[in-house]
Structure 1
Amino acid sequence: MRQIVSIQVGQVKSYLMHREQPAEKTWKTAFDKRPVPTPVIVARSGVDGDEQADRKHHGGPDKAVLMYANEHYHAWTKEFVHLDLGPGGFGENLTVEGMTEDSVCIGDVYRIGNLVVEVSQPRIPCWKISERWREATLTDRVRATGWTGWYVRVREPGVISARDAIELIDRPHPTLDVTALNALLFDRAEKSPALLQQLERCVALAEGWRQAVPELRA
């Protein structure tokens, strides 16, 4: 059964960087997202109370809400026993059950309560994952596993709660699962002309991804 496990928001804060010199160098992020009481309002801009420090790479209509599979945490906590990984640990707004990168496709439309969202792109893991947890290998492990999470845009704003069911109401692109796009991004799959053309024509795919297709051809 697809459902929400937990809902998280974060505010922009400054932190000392552990991997740079001088030691006093700081960075700003809202990556540290913590569970909040529900119900919560989700607008077209995202979950009420959530912030993004880097608006160029996070947030906006195509990346309004980040979702992450709860089942991945079972493996992460075994591999990184020294880290307190749990819901929100990868900066996601919605930690979910019954969904993974293998089973979620670009363009999928889901209803959660009276909220309607559409899958727009995989989350692209960056250095901030490792910096947040002060674990140098973590971002690379996210890329290697493909356990990136995925972004959704909000088609109909609404109110949601933990344990709400997530209903799939449309799947126009069943071959464009998040795992397949991650495989392209991380050079683990053939960049066939047919697939790249499909990505260019997929209006549900985030604009940034569609604009980047020519780079994938290179």
Structure 2
Amino acid sequence: MSNKIVSIQIGKINSYGDKNSKEFLDKYWESAFFKEVTDGKIWVGKTGLAGDEVADKVHHGGLEKAVFANSYENYGEWAEFLALDTIPFGALAENLTISELHESSVCLGDIHKIGSALLQVSQPRKPCWKIAKRWSNKKFTNEIYKTGLTGWYYRVLQEGFVEAGNEVSVVSQDESKISILDANMAFANPIKYRDILEKIVTIGAIAPSYKISVTNRILGDFSLEYMRVD
């Protein structure tokens, strides 16, 4: 299987849970996490795929996190962790499920040509509590954080159409060649991998908010509260 789009997903904002519940897995929440597979050509604009919605615009979406992608190769590992035979496309709310590309091969600043769109890898996805909510498993968010299989965000350099089956061509790669996986491992272990974090902040193509997060991580002034499940 070559580098290609296996599936495309878009989602609408919906509400879930009970507003009166104090239990984490039952608490009320709003999200567009539950995405549906979409066929045919989809327009990719500067702020994302046509028809895709974002509930939490503080932490998701926008120019620097316009499109969320994940590796099809992660699905077996996730299914095993969740003790499921299979899991549907869009399992982690990604817009693009891509084969033969992985956190270990995709690098910060990479530019990918998909269909008529040109996309640039701007940062890893930060695994938040919604992953645990979606799968009714309090440990799943931390598992994604620990393994570094987070997926990655794109900014849109050139708008265009994409569809399932499109090849993903690597047009160029930043000279630092720091993979999403290396970046995630360094973020999780800032003392051991300080040198990698220091290289990351020199990459001009990373999202400004991600640069701030990495800088704060180096300084030891960073909260992982967004992952909290209780």
Q: TM-score, normalised by structure 1?
A: 0.92
Per-residue deviation, 1:45:
0.7
Cα pair 2:183 2:200 within 8 Å, conserved = no
> Deviations for 1:78-132, whole angstroms, at most 9, x for unmatched residues?
3323486221010100000010000000110010111000000000101100001
Structure 1 partner of 2:12: 11
Unaligned 5+ segments in structure 1 are none
Runs of 4+, deviation exceeding 4 Å: 22-25
Change (3 A) 1:13 1:186: same
Unaligned 5+ segments in structure 2 are 220-230
The alignment's C-alpha RMSD in Å is: 2.1
Structure 1 partner of 2:55: 53
| Percent identity for Structure 1 against Structure 2 | 33
Cα pair 1:183 1:189 within 8 Å, conserved = no
Secondary structure at the counterpart of residue 164 of structure 2? coil
Paired amino acid for 1:2: N
Per-residue deviation, 1:133:
1.2
State the alpha-carbon separation in 1 of the partners of residues 209 and 99 from structure 2: 28
Per-residue deviation, 1:75:
2.0
Per-residue deviation, 1:209:
1.5
Structure 1 partner of 2:216: 215
Change (3 A) 1:4 1:22: closer
Structure 1 partner of 2:105: 103
Pairing partner for 2:67 from 65, 68, 75: 65
Secondary structure at the counterpart of residue 155 of structure 1? strand
Per-residue deviation, 1:214:
3.0
Q: TM-score, normalised by structure 2?
A: 0.87
State the alpha-carbon separation in 2 of the partners of residues 160 and 82 from structure 1: 30
Change (3 A) 1:213 1:71: closer
Secondary structure at the counterpart of residue 201 of structure 1? coil
> Deviations for 1:138-180, whole angstroms, at most 9, x for unmatched residues?
1111112111000000000000110100000100234311011
Cα pair 1:30 1:51 within 8 Å, conserved = yes
Per-residue deviation, 1:212:
2.4
Q: How many residues align?
A: 217
